[in-house]
Amino acid sequence: MLDAALVGMGRWGQVLVNSVQGRNGTGIRFVAGTTRTPEKARAWAAEKGVDLLPDYEAVLADPRVRAVVLATPHGQHVEQVIAAARAGKHVFVEKPFSLSRASAEAAAAACREAGVVMALGHNRRFLPAVAEMKRMLADGALGTLLHVEGQISGAAADNWKPGMWRADPRESPLGGMGAMGIHMIDMMINLAGPIEQVSVISQARVLTIGLDDTTAMLCRFREGPTGLFATLASAPRMWRVGLFGTQGRLEQREPETLVFHPREGEGWERRFDTVDIERAELEAFAAAVAGGPAYPLSPEEAVHGASVFEAMIHAKASGGPQLVA
Q: Which of 107, 123, 139 is the last residue of a domain?
A: 123
| pTM for the structure as a whole | 0.95
- β-pairing, 67-70 with 2-7? parallel
Domain count, the chain: 2
pLDDT 10s digit of each residue in the chain, 325 long? 999 999 999 999 999 999 999 999 999 999 999 999 999 999 999 999 999 999 999 999 999 999 999 999 989 999 999 999 999 999 999 999 999 999 999 999 999 999 999 999 999 999 999 999 999 999 999 999 999 999 999 998 998 988 888 888 888 899 999 999 999 999 999 999 999 999 999 999 999 999 999 999 999 999 999 999 999 999 999 999 999 999 999 999 999 999 999 999 999 999 999 999 999 999 999 999 999 999 999 999 999 999 999 999 999 999 999 999 9
The amino acid present at 124, given as its one-letter code, is R
Which class for 213: exposed (0-12), middle (13-18), buried (19 or more C-beta within 10 A)?
buried
What is the residue range of 77's domain?
2-123
Residue 130 sits in a domain whose CATH number is: 3.30.360.10
Residue 15 sits in a domain whose CATH number is: 3.40.50.720
For residues 140 and 258, state if they share a domain.
yes
Q: Tell me how far apart the alpha carbons of residues 21 and 16 are, in angstroms, rounded to a whole number.
A: 9
For residues 262 and 176, state if they share a domain.
yes
For residues 36 and 152, state if they share a domain.
no
In a domain, 168, yes or no: yes
